Amino acid sequence: GDPKVPVLYEVERTRTGKSFSVRSVKAIQHGQPIFTCQASFQLSQGSPVQHQFTMPAVPPPEELLTQEELIQKFLQNPNLAERYKKHLNKIQAEDVPIDIKPVNPPDVFSLEPQEPKQLFWVRARGYIGETDMKVHCCVAAYISDYAFLGTALLPHRQYHVKFIVSLDHSMWFHVPFRADHWMLYECESPWAGGCRGLVQGRLWRRDGVLAVTCAQEGVIRVEQTPNQSKL
């Protein structure tokens, strides 16, 4: 989409029931659809059928470095190749409205394959407060897309990425949460192939409650020639 051009939203009342309702939304610019969304809504209902996975045991965010601090640490290495310095400086210059603290940051100086799993502490920068829960859901949707598809690339770090973009993104909101409070983002990629990658994610509240589940499929195209060492 073009942020300088107004977006026309077409909303279809797909279904309206007593407990569940569905709306289909199409965003249009220059007469062409640039985004489609299907949103389901449910009245709050209690049930004895409840369970969830267990939140991974990880260090608290106070004990970890931010992404900016990690990049600064990498840039201090005098042996880092110039093109990778430019890449890290470009990342550092991005105005990302999210605080990110990787739990297990990949070694940027190694091209060794890694397990397709990542853990981040994440939160929106600034104060949102006890506002409408839909605001926190929108912010969480933005947060969930950051570095998500990159999880599928961890076993293939020897290749240079030519093109990577999301095809679809699904989210299920389970319980109330605050997007401006630290949450643990657990990401994993069970499959990649055919120039596509599949990733799944879970956003955990700090008290161990599973707040959001995510899934995304995207296009991944790489150079066939493996990269050289970053040193």
CATH number of the domain residue 34 falls in: 3.10.129.10
For the cut 60, the answer to whether the pLDDT of residue 231 exceeds it is no
Indicate whether 18 and 101 sit together in one domain.
Answer: no
Are 203 and 167 within 8 A, CB to CB? no
Is 49 part of any domain? no
Residues 212 and 100 in one domain: yes
User: At 230, is the pLDDT very low, low, confident or very high (cuts 50, 70, 90)?
Assistant: low
Domain shared by 180 and 87, yes or no? no
Residue 87 maps to a domain:
yes
- What is the tens place of the pLDDT at every residue in 80-137? 777 677 777 777 767 789 999 999 987 766 788 999 999 999 999 999 999 999 999 9
Q: Does the active-site annotation cover 216?
A: yes
The reply to whether 44 belongs to the active site is: no
Residues 141 and 217 in one domain: yes
The amino acid at 190: P
- Our answer to whether residue 145 is catalytic in this structure is yes
Over range 6-13, report the average pLDDT: 97
CA of residue 101 relative to chain centroid, distance: 13
Cβ-in-10-Å burial (0-12, 13-18, 19+) of 120 comes to: buried
Q: Are residues 181 and 148 in the same domain?
A: yes
Q: Which of 166, 170, 189, 229 is catalytic?
A: 166
Residues 111 and 166 in one domain: yes
- Final residue belonging to a domain, choices 79, 95, 111: 95
Question: Are residues 76 and 140 both part of a single domain?
Answer: no
Mean pLDDT of 2-25: 96
Mean of all residue pLDDT scores within the chain: 92
Whole-Å CA distances, 13 to 29, 39, 101? 21, 10, 40
- The answer to whether residue 169 sits within a structural domain is yes
Q: Is residue 140 part of a domain?
A: yes
Percent of the chain predicted with pLDDT > 70: 95
Judged by average pLDDT, the poorest of 2-16, 101-115, 133-147, 158-172 is 101-115
Helical ranges in 113-187 per DSSP H: 133-145
In a domain, residue 112? The reply is: yes
Which one from 24, 29, 114, 145 is the annotated catalytic residue?
Answer: 145
Distances (CA, A) of 24 to 14, 42, 203, 211: 6, 15, 25, 24
Can you give the pTM of this predicted structure? 0.89
Q: What is the pLDDT of residue 171?
A: 98
Q: Is residue 30 part of a domain?
A: yes
User: Total structural domains in the chain?
Assistant: 3
Q: Which domain holds residue 29?
A: 1-43
Q: 103 and 88 share a domain?
A: no
Same structural domain, 132 and 142: yes
Q: Do 118 and 81 sit in the same domain of this protein?
A: no
Task: Indicate which residue of 216, 224, 228, 229 is catalytic.
Answer: 216
Both 119 and 177 in one domain: the answer is yes
pLDDT (0 to 100) of residue 51: 98
What would the two tokens of residue 108 be?
């940027």
- Report the run of H or E that residue 225 belongs to, with start and end: strand 210-226
182 lies in some domain? yes
Residue 228's pLDDT is 64
- My answer on whether 180 and 100 are in the same domain is yes
Do residues 84 and 139 make contact, with C-beta atoms less than 8 angstroms apart? Answer: no
> Is the pLDDT score of 75 beyond 90?
no
Question: Is residue 199 assigned to a domain?
Answer: yes
